[in-house]
Amino acid sequence: MVKGQKPKQTGRVVSVTQTSNGMVKCDVQLPHAGGTVTAPVGKPASGVMWKPESGETVIIDYMDDGNPYVSDVLSVPSKEYSAPQLAEGSMTFRFDDSTAITVDKDENGNYAVDIEASGTVSISAADAVEVDGSTIALDAAGDATAVNLGPNGDAVVTDVETTTDSDGHITGISLTKTSKTKAE
């Protein structure tokens, strides 16, 4: 610690507010007498935001000019959830037992993204949502203009029948496809 610099402190979040431009601030009760401080919440990267909850224990750190900020939240045993076994370089954001965003690296160095939610998962785009290069439009409320049932609007196979010879070897395959290429 540099001479004159304040040491990090722990404190309990009393309240949380958010400004109109998105900055999150916490009123934090520090352990010493009269020690309530209002401090912005630090971010791990530009564009990333986190909002502590009232009652959580946080770390208050100080910038070179002496202004405080919330730098971290301490582990809260009642809010720790089971996490998947992650590979090195992977990350999970767990919000409750049923809600998480996980980015996990496989043995080939490729990443898989898993989203699970105890509520609704919303995906929106100004243009189109693509899955493996195919444009899709889905809307549970029935407002979608078209949902392709198969690749490139091909009809989807709804049944497969096989014929066999006396030895049980397959001698023929018959596919039944829906007559529809779009959901209605």
pTM of the entire structure? 0.54
pLDDT, greater one: 106 or 38: 38
Cite the beta strand spans of 80-177 per DSSP E.
Answer: 91-96, 99-105, 111-116, 129-131, 134-136, 157-164, 170-177
CB atoms within 10 A of CB 152: 7
The DSSP-derived string for 4-28 is TPPPPEEEEEEEEEE-TTS-EEEEE
Per-residue pLDDT, 38: 93
Which region, left, alpha or beta, applies to residue 128 given φ > 0 means left and ψ of -120 to 50 means alpha? beta
- How far is the C-alpha of 89 from the C-alpha of 105, rounded, in Å? 7
pLDDT, tens only, 91-116: 888 887 888 888 988 888 888 898 98
| Other C-beta atoms lying within 10 Å of the C-beta of residue 10 | 13
Residue 28 confidence (pLDDT): 94
CATH numbers and ranges of domains, the chain: 9-73 (2.40.50), 81-116 (no CATH), 129-177 (no CATH)
With a pLDDT cut of 90, the percent of the chain lying above it is 14
* C-beta separation of 56 from 48 below 8 A: no
d(CA 165, CA 4): 90
Which of 13, 156, 151 lies closest to 74 in space, CA to CA? 13
pLDDT of residue 140 exceeding 50, the answer is: no
Compute the average pLDDT of residues 76-94: 74
Q: Are 116 and 97 in contact (CB under 8 A)?
A: no
Q: pLDDT at residue 17 above 70?
A: yes
